Structure 1
Amino acid sequence: MDELRRFRRALVAWAAGGAGAGAAAAVARELAGGGVRMIVLVEGSSDQAALEALATRNGRDLGAEGVAVVPLGGATNIGRFLDVCGPPGLGLPLAGLCDIGEERHFRRHLERVGLGSGLTQAGLETLGFHVCDADLEDELIRALGAEGVQEVIEAQGEVRPFRTFQGQPAQRERPVEHQLRRFMGTHSGRKALYAQAMVAHLDLERVPRPLERLLTHV
């Protein structure tokens, strides 16, 4: 296991608390001293996949640059991770990405650990935290367009499962963009797969603003 993966696992164990938190903290501190210069906190693995794929398309290797992209396992965990990564813990520079519906959690806990006060969305961006409307999948679907996303689905060999999904009673009358977004969440790992695939298919002049701004910041 490479050191960056070990670092991420140590952070997750530290943030979770419990009997192993002290040992995990020691591992995280040791590995952070080995070259981690920034931690990017994202809601889930699909956000990580998209950011790392975009970095690759821009000729960057975030891991080699000392940038650790850490999925929170849900936005409500942001407070725990800020405690271990931010001023109360490692004290490393931070950045992040969240959905608009979860912005309040990020804002409240950033203020709690002393990284701002009265934060607006512009204030969050100044700190390096960017907000997707409504989420990253929605941003990427709008950037690619429905036809472009269906080309990605075809490239993944999943046209038939998608057509079957579209034919379900609950989906038939919904806009295709909604169908595409819901389809990506129907199986474990599919959101991350499609986040990476959509970024690979994307015109670099049409990268969603939150994703582009985040990569520029780090």
Structure 2
Amino acid sequence: MDELKRFRLALVAWAAGGARADAAAAVARELAGGGVRTIVLVEGSSDQVALEALATRHGRDLGAEGVAVVPLGGATNIGRFLDVCGPPGLGLPLAGLCDIGEERHFRRHLERVGLGSGLTHAGLETLGFQVCVADLEDELIRALGAEGVQQVIDAQGEMRPFRTFQGQPAQRERPVEHQLRRFMGTHSGRKALYAQALVAHLDLERVPQPLERLLTHV
């Protein structure tokens, strides 16, 4: 297991609290001292995959640069991770990515740990925390267009399952963009699969702004 993965696992265990927290904190502190310079907090693994894939397209290796992209396992966990990564814990520079529906959670906890006061949307961006509208999948679908996303689905050998999904009664009358977004969340691992595949097919002049700004910040 590489050290960056060990670092992420240690952060997760530390943030979870309980009997293992002290030992996990010691591991995280030791590994952070070995070269972690920035922690990027994202809601889920698909966000991590997308950011790392975009970095690769720009010729960057975030891990080698000391940038640890850490999935929270859900936006409501942001407070716990800020406690262990921010001023109360490791005190490392932070950045992040969230959905617009979770922006209030990020603002409240960033202010609670002393990383801002009366934060606005612009204030979050200045700190390095970007907000997707409505989420990263929606951003990527709009950037590629519905036809472009369907080409990616076809390349993954999943056009037939997508057509079956479109035919479901709950989906028939919905816009194709909504169908695409929902399809990506129907199976475990599918969001991450398409996060990587969609970023790989993006025109670099049309990268969603939250993703582009986050990569530029770190």
Q: TM-score range by the shorter chain?
A: over 0.9
Runs of 4+ with deviation above 4 angstroms: none
Q: Name the count of aligned residue pairs.
A: 218
* Offset of residue 20 of structure 1: 0.2
Instruction: Trace 1:84-163 onto structure 2 (pairs within 5 A).
Output: 84-163=84-163
Q: Deviations over 1:129-164 (max 9, x none)?
A: 000000000000000000000000011000000000
- Whole-Å separation in 2 of the counterparts to 1:190 and 1:76: 22
- SS of 2:70's equivalent in the other structure is strand
**Long gaps (5+) in structure 2:** none
Q: CA deviation at 1:77?
A: 0.2
* Alpha-carbon RMSD: 0.3
Deviation at 1:35, TM superposition (A): 0.2
What is the distance in 2 between the residues matched to 1:196 and 1:117?
35
Deviation at 1:30, TM superposition (A): 0.2
Alignment partners' CA distance in 2, 1:196 and 1:42 = 15
Mapped to 2, the partners of 1:199 and 1:67 lie a distance apart of: 19
CA distance in 2, matches of 1:99, 1:120: 15
- Distance in 2 separating the partners of 1:212 and 1:3: 26
CA offsets per residue over residues 14-73 of structure 1, 9 Å max, x none?
Answer: 000000000000000000000000000000000000000000000000000000000000
Paired with 2:181 and 2:23, the residues of 1 have a C-alpha distance of 40
User: For each residue in 1:166-207, what CA deviation from the matched residue of structure 2 results, as whole angstroms up to 9, or x when unmatched?
Assistant: 000000000000000000000000000001100000000000
TM-score in terms of structure 1 length: 1.00
Q: Take 1:64 and 1:45, find their aligned partners in 2: how far apart are those partners?
A: 19
TM-score, normalising length: structure 2: 1.00
